[in-house]
A and B are shown apart, each in its own frame.
Chain A
Amino acid sequence: MIASGFALLQGMEGMQQGMEGTGGGAEMQMGRDLALIAPEIAVVLTAVGALIFEMLRLPRVALPFTVIGLLVATGLTLPLLGTETTAFMDTFRIDPLSVWAKLVLLPATALCVVLAHGEVKDTDREGTVYALLSFTTVGALALAGAGDAMFVVLGVLLASLGSFALVAYPRDDRSTEAAMKYLVFGSVTSAVMIFGLTYWYGATASTLLSELGGLEGVPLAGAAGLVAVLVGLGYKAAIAPFHFWAPDAYDGAPLSVAAYLSVVPKVGAIFGLVQVLRDLPASGAAGWPLVVAILAVLSMTYGNLAALAQENVVRLLAYSSIAQSGYFLLGVVAWERGELALPSLVVFAAAYAAMNIGAFAVVMLAGRDLDDFAGLGRSAPATGAAMVVFLISLVGVPPLAGFVGKFLLFGAAIEAGFLWLAVIAILNSVLSLAVYLKVVVPMYRTPKEAPKHSGPVRAVWILALAATVSIGLATQILLGRIA
């Protein structure tokens, strides 16, 4: 915690310097800027409201309030579609990437809030969980729209602080240990990131990401900052080799929190990575696209191979989410030279959010162990069938959402001249079939016991299933909106 606090302080100092650098005139812009971040403000108010209802001992109100607040924030985002501008003196970007991040992550957060209700209802601090989830989402959104190095730091810290508390929520040994690992890992990587970013600041005399072009010809400082950013955001997105916390944290945390962590901060960090790298000169020291491509290969391959060895479904999904981060990176790699990069990242983010939250929802009903899935397909055919859909969508089987997202990512990578990367990704997808079938196969054995029943969780998987199928079938409509 001390390290994080220190990091936060450093971040704020940097923010002041950034403001000095760009000069005054901020007040005149304030009204417009506030309108542009209306969705984020709505989320913050939602979080505060959830806390207030908790303090008023009205936990029953906190849940609908949070869900409605998040949906209102989603609605407030819609008018911003197609906008391409910046707010707060270029430090925050309102572009298709950040707008679509909101459109994907806010509903995803709402689904996770409903999932969390199943686990924390009637415990004390129920509303706190909803508030923390909302605050963490603000961090992820800050990352996805970052236009300034300090927003990157702020986003990582905001997304992390809430996550630590969420993982530790059950207050038992496992969750405490998981949260501790997560915290220590996060503190170190955040410190490394801030340290590395100072090189960029030193070389460009600005914390603005749009000034990163000034790194051309300063390869060492450029490389130092690149490594630092990859460490910091790679940690948040659970990209190998910065993933070590993920399986423990997911397994120790409540399942709804695991579902949340595997989707919202990850997508935020990946989009944040794009915001940083898009302005970075690609020519220096072997070029960042190649570095990111290597991380992608590492993440996909390691994630799938490690998932293959798991006997615990949550850990299996944790490693699978590391592999999915690798696929995400294909879109990042392609950003420089590919028209498809933006649509591929957005579609895959939406697909990934739907199928991963859906899969975790079914895990909440069935249980954490592979053995708990024995016979699920027979004792609860609908839930079982939904799980099969989520898993084969994670593999990337047409016509489901996962296929379309991956297909666009592979296309983007090929378009950008990374055919070898696309081939490795395709081979990994087929390998992942073995991973997910590990869960499917026991589902059709003799049932052991019927799964739990929970209305809200059922509603979540039904919504996730609808999204998984419809994103797959109606991709063309989505593509038309993004372009």
Chain B
Amino acid sequence: MLPMVSITTFLPLLGAALLVALRGATPRVAHGVGIATSGLTLLGAAWIWARGAPGGGFSQVEEIPWIPSLGAAYRVGVDGISLPLVLMTTILFFVSLVYSARVRERAGSYVALFLLLETASIGTFVALDAIVFYVFFEVTLVGMYFVIAGWGYEGRGRAALTFFLYTLLGSLPLLLAILGLYLASEPNTFDMRSYINSPPLSGLAAMLALIAMLVTFFVKIPVFPVHTWLPLAHTEAPTAGSVILAGVLLKLGTYGLIRFALQMTPDAFRAAAPYVAALAVFSALYGAFVALAQTDLKRLIAYTSVNHMGYVVLGVAVAAAADPGVRALALDGAVLQMVAHGFVTGALFLLVGMLQERAHTREMGKLGALLRTVPGLGWAFVLAAFASLGLPGLAHFPAEFQVFLGTFYVYPVAVVVVLGIAVTAGLYLRAMQASFLGETSEASAGMKDLGAREWLAAAPLLVLTVVLGVAPFLVLDVVHATTEVLLP
């Protein structure tokens, strides 16, 4: 059997190496290589998806021994949680590179960095060895630093550095937790499957490891109060960088939360679940309310990410505390929420980027009557915004509904988080009223509507948003097979 997981993981890296080798490549060639590579990677991910993860456990496992006497090896594979995330990642990278085809400034390096990021992101999702996971996890950080620092807006230097320091320091505790798991496993190994099948830590050690992991993943997700890097990074990042940052990199945090915190220290997580749930509720509400105060569209979307990711954390916390039936329900919701957020927020950031290119501003007050001047862009944004606020029939609804239902069973009080939906609805309606209806403003006069390339980038995400909304079972069936048997 072809090792499709490894091929898909390293294909983008190969493309990046090709671009480095072709150093005087024109932007045209560079973008061609980028789109072709990420397209092939997307096909590879589809192949992995088609093979599936029967039985819910890890399948399509590929393993190469490295230092057997120390239990270190290259191990990758997928299960029902990583499968949809891998597919989502490859889709988002493909549309980002399609959208980026107009980038002329150092196009070769730009595409190469995105391809490097793609390898690192896929690698993080498929890693089954703690060292491999950690390395990919850190490489995403370095890659994103360069993307923001190299192609961002005015304050990019400071934003990139904040992002880098924040997440670098944030990932240290994870390293210590991995060390603890390694030392406690018998025989010593970095095999994540072994940590999952028989959690090596217990008692205080498990709690300390859990706290360490929570710190790392909360920074990445991000959860209040360690979210402060996010709005800064998003405002300064180039559009495609924002798409990847919100669509893929934030998921690394929530994925780690399930894969590491929930699966490797289940008992400690069960004990800590009420506190995590409370923090998640607060973070979700906080994100919604702060988003309400924004007038910059990009910052607004950035803060709604804090809100949406809060629901994911809530779902995982509920799953940690619940009995198996409800656990599967809450986790299904959490995983679906990750995928939905990837597509919806990806689309929103793309559309805001297209808007900024035309109007040279993202201030709501300076835009107006966009539905009339640029109906294509306008309606696309309206669709994505409705999905983001949780309208039934669109991607977020089935996800959030399951999370809230699970929450209701376990922590009835925590259902106040539904308030977040109302606030999000309010803020999106306000944004639409200010920018998309009303009088034509100076900035929005004479704009052109979306071109073919822009449609090619945005349309797949919008279509997927609708598909996920009306047929969530397409993803849920795969996820559910795993969440049913996730914890022994």
Residues of A that sit less than 8 Å from B by CB? 378, 381, 385, 397-399, 404, 407-408, 411, 414, 419, 422-423, 426-427, 430, 433-434, 437, 441, 444, 473, 475-476, 479
B residues near A473, Cβ cutoff 8 Å? 66
Verify A444–B66 contact, CB threshold 8 A.
no
With A407-B70, A444-B146, A476-B68 known as contacts, the answer to whether A423 contacts B172 (CB < 8 A) is no
A423 to B171, CA, bound (A): 14
Verify A430–B168 contact, CB threshold 8 A.
yes
A232 to B68, CA, bound (A): 39
With A444-B146, A479-B67 known as contacts, the answer to whether A430 contacts B131 (CB < 8 A) is no
Verify A444–B68 contact, CB threshold 8 A.
no
Q: Knowing that A381-B20, A408-B70 touch, tell me 7 more A-B residue pairs with CB under 8 angstroms.
A: A378-B23, A398-B132, A404-B67, A423-B179, A427-B172, A430-B175, A441-B149
Most buried by B among A404, A414, A441: A441
B488–chain A nearest beta-carbon distance, Å: 29
A residues near B171, Cβ cutoff 8 Å? 430
Q: B18-52: which have CB < 8 Å to A?
A: 20-21, 23
- What are 21 A-to-B residue pairs whose CB atoms are below 8 Å? A378-B23, A381-B20, A381-B21, A397-B135, A398-B135, A404-B67, A407-B70, A407-B72, A408-B70, A411-B70, A414-B183, A419-B183, A426-B175, A427-B172, A430-B168, A441-B149, A473-B66, A475-B66, A476-B67, A476-B68, A479-B69
Q: B49-69: which have CB < 8 Å to A?
A: 65-69
Instruction: Give the interface SS of chain A, mostly helix, strand, loop or mixed.
Output: helix
B109 CB–A CB distance under 8 Å: yes
B residues near A475, Cβ cutoff 8 Å? 66-67
B150 CB–A CB distance under 8 Å: yes
B176 CB–A CB distance under 8 Å: yes
With A444-B109, A479-B67 known as contacts, the answer to whether A381 contacts B172 (CB < 8 A) is no
Verify A476–B66 contact, CB threshold 8 A.
yes
A399 to B72, CA, bound (A): 10
Instruction: Return the chain B residue nearest A399 by Cβ.
Output: B66
B350–chain A nearest beta-carbon distance, Å: 26
B residues near A476, Cβ cutoff 8 Å? 65-69
A473 to B175, CA, bound (A): 21
A19 to B23, CA, bound (A): 66
B169–chain A nearest beta-carbon distance, Å: 8
Most buried by A among B65, B138, B150, B179: B179
Q: B128-167: which have CB < 8 Å to A?
A: 131-132, 135, 138, 142, 146, 149-150, 165
Verify A444–B23 contact, CB threshold 8 A.
no
B residues near A408, Cβ cutoff 8 Å? 70
A442–chain B nearest beta-carbon distance, Å: 11
Q: B285-299: which have CB < 8 Å to A?
A: none
A211 to B90, CA, bound (A): 66
B83–chain A nearest beta-carbon distance, Å: 25
Instruction: Return the chain B residue nearest A411 by Cβ.
Output: B70
Verify B168–A426 contact, CB threshold 8 A.
no
Instruction: Give the interface SS of chain B, mostly helix, strand, loop or mixed.
Output: helix
A304–chain B nearest beta-carbon distance, Å: 14
A399 to B129, CA, bound (A): 13
A397 to B141, CA, bound (A): 14
Verify A423–B176 contact, CB threshold 8 A.
yes
Interface size classification for chain B: 20 to 34
A437 to B164, CA, bound (A): 11
Residues of B that sit less than 8 Å from A by CB? 20-21, 23, 65-70, 72, 109, 131-132, 135, 138, 142, 146, 149-150, 165, 168, 171-172, 175-176, 179, 183
B residues near A381, Cβ cutoff 8 Å? 20-21, 23
B residues near A414, Cβ cutoff 8 Å? 183
A290 to B179, CA, bound (A): 22
A385 to B23, CA, bound (A): 13
7 A-B pairs with least C-beta separation: A475-B67, A430-B172, A476-B67, A398-B135, A398-B131, A381-B20, A381-B23
A residues near B21, Cβ cutoff 8 Å? 381
Instruction: Return the chain A residue nearest B172 by Cβ.
Output: A430
A475 to B175, CA, bound (A): 22
A55 to B165, CA, bound (A): 57
A434 to B171, CA, bound (A): 14
A residues near B175, Cβ cutoff 8 Å? 426, 430
A residues near B70, Cβ cutoff 8 Å? 407-408, 411
A423 to B70, CA, bound (A): 18
Instruction: Return the chain A residue nearest B65 by Cβ.
Output: A476
B residues near A434, Cβ cutoff 8 Å? 165, 168
Contact of B20 among A385, A423, A430, A437 (CB under 8 A): A385
A407 to B135, CA, bound (A): 14
A482–chain B nearest beta-carbon distance, Å: 11
A residues near B67, Cβ cutoff 8 Å? 404, 475-476, 479
B418–chain A nearest beta-carbon distance, Å: 40
A residues near B179, Cβ cutoff 8 Å? 422-423, 426
B192–chain A nearest beta-carbon distance, Å: 15
A433 to B68, CA, bound (A): 27
A398 to B67, CA, bound (A): 12
Instruction: Return the chain B residue nearest A472 by Cβ.
Output: B66
B residues near A398, Cβ cutoff 8 Å? 72, 131-132, 135
A421–chain B nearest beta-carbon distance, Å: 13
B145–chain A nearest beta-carbon distance, Å: 8
Verify A444–B20 contact, CB threshold 8 A.
no
Verify B168–A433 contact, CB threshold 8 A.
yes
A408 to B72, CA, bound (A): 12
Instruction: Return the chain B residue nearest A475 by Cβ.
Output: B67
Verify B176–A426 contact, CB threshold 8 A.
yes
B338–chain A nearest beta-carbon distance, Å: 27
A residues near B66, Cβ cutoff 8 Å? 399, 473, 475-476
Instruction: Return the chain A residue nearest B146 by Cβ.
Output: A444
A residues near B149, Cβ cutoff 8 Å? 441
B residues near A385, Cβ cutoff 8 Å? 20
A422 to B66, CA, bound (A): 22
Contact of A444 among B131, B135, B150 (CB under 8 A): B150
A182–chain B nearest beta-carbon distance, Å: 36
Instruction: Return the chain A residue nearest B141 by Cβ.
Output: A433
A411 to B132, CA, bound (A): 18
A444 to B69, CA, bound (A): 38
B residues near A437, Cβ cutoff 8 Å? 142
B residues near A430, Cβ cutoff 8 Å? 168, 171-172, 175
A residues near B72, Cβ cutoff 8 Å? 398, 407
B residues near A407, Cβ cutoff 8 Å? 70, 72
A479 to B72, CA, bound (A): 14
Instruction: Return the chain B residue nearest A445 by Cβ.
Output: B150
A397 to B176, CA, bound (A): 16
Instruction: Return the chain B residue nearest A478 by Cβ.
Output: B67
B residues near A423, Cβ cutoff 8 Å? 176, 179
